[in-house]
Copies of this chain bind each other. A is one copy, B any other.
């Protein structure tokens, strides 16, 4: 329920906003997600702002959503909770 499906330039993407108390915490989360992405060779868009990180997952190759994007979204949630 925390993720919505958004359309960016005709491409469906999974998107969720994560809230933080400050910029340092938001930056740390950005790095956790980026490290996971690099590990998996699957790269989202991560928007880092003051107190907020917005993550979007989609599969470039198919220009849309693949099962793997939903898995990555769930793993992103675990990074947030952990």
Contacts and interface: CB of A to CB of B under 8 A. Distances in A.
A49 interface: yes
A50 B59 CA distance: 12
Interface string A32-68: 0010011000010111111000000000100000000
Interface of A: 23-24, 27, 30-31, 34, 37-38, 43, 45-50, 60
16 contacts: A23-B34, A23-B37, A23-B38, A24-B38, A27-B31, A27-B34, A30-B30, A30-B48, A34-B48, A43-B49, A43-B50, A45-B49, A46-B48, A47-B47, A47-B48, A48-B48
Given A23-B37, A23-B38, 10 more contacts: A23-B34, A23-B43, A27-B31, A30-B30, A30-B34, A30-B48, A43-B49, A45-B49, A46-B49, A48-B48
